[in-house]
Every structure is written in structure tokens, then in C-alpha cells.
A and B are shown apart, each in its own frame.
Chain A
Amino acid sequence: MNPISKNRRSPKQYSVLPGFGLTMGYTLLYLGLIVLIPLAALFLKSSQLGWDDFLKAVGNPRVVASYKLTFGASFIAATVNAIFGFIVAWTLVRYQFPGKRLLDAMVDLPFALPTAVSGIALTAIYSENGWIGQYLEPLGIHAAFSPLGITIALTFIGLPFVVRTLQPAIEDLQRENEEAAASLGASRLQAMLRVILPAVMPALLTGFALSFARALGEYGSVVFISGNMPMRTEITSLLIISKLEQYDVAGATAIAVVMLLASFALLLAVNLLQWWSGQRYRGVA
């Protein structure tokens, strides 16, 4: 171990450098003003609501229908992303083929493309006369303005999370482990299922959870393709906005708190997962 990393534990070694008070003070002030105080306002506002009103606001059938739709579509989208994201990540890490770099760069498109743009683009493609919609319509599949369309939009938005979480995990796989499995007589499929998949499972679950969490709160890319029919294709984010437009600030706040807690719970799960896999696998080459 080199001396620097030992010293990391002792703050005195760091006091050689100036600016701790200034930067720390500014960090806390800015964080407080921009993030913490406004967030606190959300929780304060909902606590003023009273328990009964809160339950009524979040348990209303229209709201419950939006939860079901949002969670269901997000879950399916995250599952689709987990499956195809794994294939994409594997292909991008392990194989050589023409156009690979371009494909790799394209994975980040949903991060870079404003959600409103992806929203109207997806709607255009999947509506009756759209590039893809025109072929689905004769089959009786209505993609736009249906839960299917919502799922497609949420898949679009969540894909990079799975691919970008998996890529480093696949790169870190020890080839020797696969060789060991093969030398012990395992077929390639057995090596894949018993050696590779368990090794990347923490990353896969993390990517799934991140994609799921992102989908829960998504608004821009969904609002155009969903059609926004109450009880049928109204996602929770949109419901919050329509409550606001009806000046039902309390109702909007209550629903927002529920969604916020759900995504916090998911992120907590991600952190626990990473901590757990770090504990268990620490130090094994």
C-alpha cells in the first residue's frame, strides 16, 4: 500500500490545501437552496394535507389506474431492456463488426435527445399512417395512444441505463473463468448460464432498476404517444400535471410523494445490491 492511500483516513494530511471552508460552504448553500429546501417543501405540503385527505388523493380510482399503468408499463419496458440490453452490451463488448462504434455511440441517444422530441417522433412512427404503425394497424395492433405505445416510449428512454451498466461488467469478466468452465466440460450455453450470467447479474439488476426508476418518472416521451385517456392511458406524471392545472395542488403533491418514495426505494435497492455484491465478491480476482 502506498503512503497516500493510508493517509486518506487522516484529515490532517489534507489541510495543506486551502479552500475547504469556501468550497464546502458554497456546496452546502447551493445544495440547500436548489435541492433540499424545495424538496422539503414537497414533504411539508403533503404533511399538511392530513392522513385521510392524503389517502383519498392517492387512492382515487383514476390515480390507482395510473399507478397500475405506470408501474406495469415501466416494468415491462425495463424487462425488455434487460433482455435486449444484455444482448446489445454483449455484442458491443465481445464482437467485432462493421459499424460497431457508431452503434455504440447511438446507445446514448435517449440521454441526448430531448424527451419531447423523442415523444413526437415515436408518435409519428407508431400512429396509423406512421412508418411502423401502418404495418401494425392491419394486424389489429394499435401502438399509438395505447399502453403498448407507452411501453415502447419507456423502453426507448431506459435502454442506455441497462447497456451502460452492463458494458463495464462484461469487460471485467475474467476470460479465464470461461476457459475454466470449458476445460471442466461445460458447453458454451452452460458457461453462459452458470458462469457468465451470475457474474454480471448484479450489474444487470442494477441496470434494470435504473431503467425502471427512470420510466416511472418519465413524462415528455410518453405524453404524446399515450393519448392521455383517464383510466386507460394516463400515466401518473401526467396526472400530477392535470391536477396542477385544475389548481388541486394538494392532490398533485400527494401523488408526487408516492412516486418519489417509490423511486427512492428503487435507488436504495440498487445501492444495497451494489454494496452486497461488493461485499461478497470483494478481492477475488
Chain B
Amino acid sequence: MSIEVKHISKTFGDFTALNDVSLRVNDGELVALLGPSGSGKTTLLRIIAGLETPDPRADSAILFHDSSVSGQPVGKRQVGFVFQHYALFRHMSVFENIAFGLRVRPRRERLAKSEIQDRVHHLLKLIQLDAFGNRYPSQLSGGQRQRVALARALAVEPKVLLLDEPFGALDAKVRQGLRAWLRRLHDEIHLTSVLVTHDQEEALEVADRVVVMNQARIEQVGTPEEVFHRPASEFVIEFLGQVNIFHSRVRNGSARLGEMTFDCPSYPHPQERPATIYMRPHELDIKRQQNGVPSLEAEVVRVNPAGSIAKISLVTRDGHEVQVDLSLERLQELNLGEGETVFLYPKKARVFVPHYVI
């Protein structure tokens, strides 16, 4: 079932959580809402679920499968909601937690006892906790609790699945495993899903599409590849991964940084303006010698080869810190020592002129 929200705004007192946000999630898609805390991502998810109501606006709408659910309370929307802190019922066993949604149905819609049992056992198998039905939440690990929370949400056969920072409270190792498991699960059941996260790695790894949010607005919507490699705004490039930032000036379609020039066709005007140049650490190469092509002179401050790539910290002549990632082979080739002077060659760069985007 597709989800569509149109012109949604939400304010809490003086704080604007969402400012005229519209978004469409296609049937069977897994979309991640990614952004820093306070960007409005959780509020948007809660509004979709019906746990929060948007500010009244004539043109706003929440549509499931193209029909409005604005007037429906959360219990009628047939959404599965997974909370960051699990929100398991601690006085109920795992089995009772998962069965809860089936047992509270009105009598005429309720399944027979045996059917409820079958479905819960099936879900317990799905979350790989077959033997844990009689345990209480306090006897489970964080990862197990979150799987139970997911099974509980799935038990009522929701039309959409909404996950609010589902792995946020778990440690890194468990999070990694659950992430992969969630993606496999989604590939199996193809339930339209929206996942809120502030962890860019999680969003890029799990989602079909990523919605980057900042300050109550959507900055960019795209596949993980698009948002990472073709960021639509300065915020997106800064939020997704490490980046080197250089301040320069732009005019007549090109920006200057030292002797180097960068194309900036979006700003063809003759009057000079400030611009920002972004280069990711892996988009810079280091050479020991100048080769005629303009480059940036810098001194090596620190070499850290502990990892799958080497991280080099440098400082340019004017005191600007730069990070460069090199493959370990390349590092060996260069044989860099701390304190040496080298030359930086950008392989790729993005120039942003305020209000002008390449």
C-alpha cells in the first residue's frame, strides 16, 4: 500500500517540527527518513501513524493507497509501529506481547484461539525466538526485545510498517546484524515500510530510497547512491559522511581556490560571490611532486593506517585542515612521513553558491 503525505506542517508551541512537507512512498518500498535530531523525521512518522495530528491546513492530506486516513485514529489505520525503546508490555510474556493485537480485536473480528497461537508461533519462528515465548521482556537482550516488538507489530498484518529509530538503543554489533536481517525480512514480505534513523550508514544500507530531512523540511529524496554521490544541498553533503570544506569566491562560471579553478556553470554572472567547495576525503589524491596541473600544497600532520583505508590529516599553507583517505597500497607507494610537504589533487569537487546549486 502506498503512503502519501501532502503539505504537512506541525508546530509544538514555538517549535516548528514540520514545515509544509510532502512525500510519497510507493507500494512495497522501504524508505528511510534520515536527519539530525530535531529535523522532524520522527514527527512525520508519528503523523503518518496517527500518533500525532498535523496542524490543520486546508490543503494537507495523509493518504494510504490514495484514500485519506486523516480522520482515522491510529488503531484504525492498520499500521505496524515499532518504537525506539521497544515499548514492550513488561507484565506480559513474549507470546502475550505478540498476541496482544489479535486479542484486543472486537469479538466478531477476533481469530480463534488456535489461529492466534499458530500465527504467534509463526512470528516467533520468523524472529528466531521460537523457544522464548514464555519469557518476559526483562529476560531478553536489547536486540531480542526489538525483534519481539517487530513481531508484535507484524502480528496484526499491518498494511504499512513504521519504525522509529528501531536500532537506536542497541550497540553497534547488534545493530549491524539486525539491519541486515531487517532488509532480508523486507525482501521477503515486501511491506511498505518507513524507517526513521539518524544513522546515515543505516539509511544508506537498508533503504530503497532515502529522505534527508533538516530543520522541519525535506532536503533531498533519492536512492542511497543519488543522495551520497549527487547531494542536492550543502546540508546533504555535510550530513552524509565526512567532507573537506573550502571557502572560495565564484564568478563567470568558475570558482577559484589557490591556483585551482572549479567549474560552476550555475553561476555565470560577472559579480563575485562567496562559494563553498566540498571534497570528500576519498576524492583527493596525494602526490609528492607537482606535475604542472594546479594543486594544493599541504603538510602531513598525521598518518593513520589502522583500518581498511589509511586516513591522512594534513594542513594547507593557510592553516586549513584537510582529511584524505588513501588505499593502503597507495600509502605504501607514497611512503608518507609526518611533517613532509605534499600536493593535493582533487579528483572531484562540488561547488555550492548560496542559492545556486550545480
Interface residues of A (CB under 8 A from B): 174, 176-177, 179-187, 190, 194-195, 198-199, 201, 280-285
Interface centre among B89, B136, B155 (most CB of A within 10 A): B89
Whether the pair B104, A190 counts as a contact (CB closer than 8 A) is yes
Question: Smallest distance from the beta carbon of B98 to chain A beta carbons, Å?
Answer: 10
B41 within 8 A of A: no
Q: Within the assembled complex, what's the spacing in Å between the Cα atoms of A180 and B51? A: 10
B156 within 8 A of A: yes
Give the nearest-CB partner of A176 in chain B: B87
Give the nearest-CB partner of B138 in chain A: A284
B49 within 8 A of A: yes
Can you list 5 pairs linking A and B with CB atoms under 8 Å apart? A180-B87, A184-B100, A184-B153, A281-B138, A285-B86
Interface residues of B (CB under 8 A from A): 49-51, 73-76, 79-81, 83, 85-92, 100-101, 104-105, 136-138, 145, 149, 152-153, 155-156, 169
Residue of A184, A195, A199, A282 touching B156 (CB-CB under 8 A): A184
Whether the pair B91, A179 counts as a contact (CB closer than 8 A) is no
Q: Within the assembled complex, what's the spacing in Å between the Cα atoms of A183 and B73? A: 9
Residue of A180, A183, A199 touching B91 (CB-CB under 8 A): A199
Whether the pair B101, A280 counts as a contact (CB closer than 8 A) is no
Residue of A184, A190, A201, A283 touching B138 (CB-CB under 8 A): A283
Residue of A174, A185, A199 touching B85 (CB-CB under 8 A): A174
Q: Within the assembled complex, what's the spacing in Å between the Cα atoms of A190 and B153? A: 17
Whether the pair B91, A281 counts as a contact (CB closer than 8 A) is yes
Whether the pair B101, A185 counts as a contact (CB closer than 8 A) is yes
Residue of A194, A280, A282, A283 touching B100 (CB-CB under 8 A): A194
Question: Smallest distance from the beta carbon of B84 to chain A beta carbons, Å?
Answer: 8
Residue of B75, B86, B88 touching A183 (CB-CB under 8 A): B75
Question: Smallest distance from the beta carbon of B303 to chain A beta carbons, Å?
Answer: 35
Q: With A183-B74, A183-B79, A184-B75 in contact, is A285–B101 under 8 Å at CB? A: no
Q: Within the assembled complex, what's the spacing in Å between the Cα atoms of A139 and B81? A: 55
Whether the pair A183, B138 counts as a contact (CB closer than 8 A) is no
Question: Smallest distance from the beta carbon of B179 to chain A beta carbons, Å?
Answer: 21
Q: With A183-B81, A184-B104, A186-B104 in contact, is A177–B152 under 8 Å at CB? A: no
Give the nearest-CB partner of B51 in chain A: A179
Please name all residues of chain A whose beta carbon is closer than 8 Å to the beta carbon of B136 when the two chains form the complex: 280
Whether the pair A179, B138 counts as a contact (CB closer than 8 A) is no
Q: Within the assembled complex, what's the spacing in Å between the Cα atoms of A185 and B91? A: 19
Q: With A182-B75, A183-B80 in contact, is A198–B91 under 8 Å at CB? A: yes
Q: With A185-B105, A186-B75 in contact, is A284–B153 under 8 Å at CB? A: no
Residue of B76, B90, B152 touching A199 (CB-CB under 8 A): B90
Whether the pair B75, A177 counts as a contact (CB closer than 8 A) is no
Please name all residues of chain B whose beta carbon is closer than 8 Å to the beta carbon of A186 when the two chains form the complex: 75, 100-101, 104
Please name all residues of chain B whose beta carbon is closer than 8 Å to the beta carbon of A281 when the two chains form the complex: 90-91, 138
Whether the pair A181, B90 counts as a contact (CB closer than 8 A) is no
Give the nearest-CB partner of A190 in chain B: B104
Give the nearest-CB partner of B100 in chain A: A184
Question: Smallest distance from the beta carbon of A168 to chain B beta carbons, Å?
Answer: 17
Question: Smallest distance from the beta carbon of B119 to chain A beta carbons, Å?
Answer: 13
Whether the pair B153, A177 counts as a contact (CB closer than 8 A) is no
Task: For the complex of A and B, list the 6 residue pairs with the smallest distance between their C-beta atoms, beginning with the closest.
Answer: A184-B101, A176-B87, A186-B104, A183-B81, A180-B87, A284-B90
Give the nearest-CB partner of A198 in chain B: B91
Give the nearest-CB partner of B84 in chain A: A176
Q: A179-B81, A282-B138, A284-B90 are in contact. List 7 more A-B contacts (CB 8 A).
A: A180-B87, A182-B51, A182-B74, A184-B156, A187-B104, A199-B91, A280-B91
Residue of B49, B87, B104 touching A177 (CB-CB under 8 A): B87
Q: Within the assembled complex, what's the spacing in Å between the Cα atoms of A176 and B88? A: 9
Whether the pair A179, B156 counts as a contact (CB closer than 8 A) is no
Q: Within the assembled complex, what's the spacing in Å between the Cα atoms of A187 and B156? A: 15
Give the nearest-CB partner of A202 in chain B: B91
Please name all residues of chain A whose beta carbon is closer than 8 Å to the beta carbon of B87 when the two chains form the complex: 174, 176-177, 179-180
Please name all residues of chain A whose beta carbon is closer than 8 Å to the beta carbon of B80 when the two chains form the complex: 183
Please name all residues of chain A whose beta carbon is closer than 8 Å to the beta carbon of B92 when the two chains form the complex: 198
Q: Within the assembled complex, what's the spacing in Å between the Cα atoms of A187 and B75? A: 8
Whether the pair B90, A179 counts as a contact (CB closer than 8 A) is no
Q: Within the assembled complex, what's the spacing in Å between the Cα atoms of A282 and B140? A: 11
Q: Within the assembled complex, what's the spacing in Å between the Cα atoms of A113 and B127? A: 58
Please name all residues of chain B whose beta carbon is closer than 8 Å to the beta carbon of A179 when the two chains form the complex: 51, 74, 81, 83, 87
Question: Smallest distance from the beta carbon of B78 to chain A beta carbons, Å?
Answer: 8
Question: Smallest distance from the beta carbon of B73 to chain A beta carbons, Å?
Answer: 7
Please name all residues of chain A whose beta carbon is closer than 8 Å to the beta carbon of B81 when the two chains form the complex: 179-180, 183
Q: Within the assembled complex, what's the spacing in Å between the Cα atoms of A33 and B78? A: 67
Question: Smallest distance from the beta carbon of A186 to chain B beta carbons, Å?
Answer: 4
Q: With A280-B138, A284-B88, A284-B137 in contact, is A183–B104 under 8 Å at CB? A: no
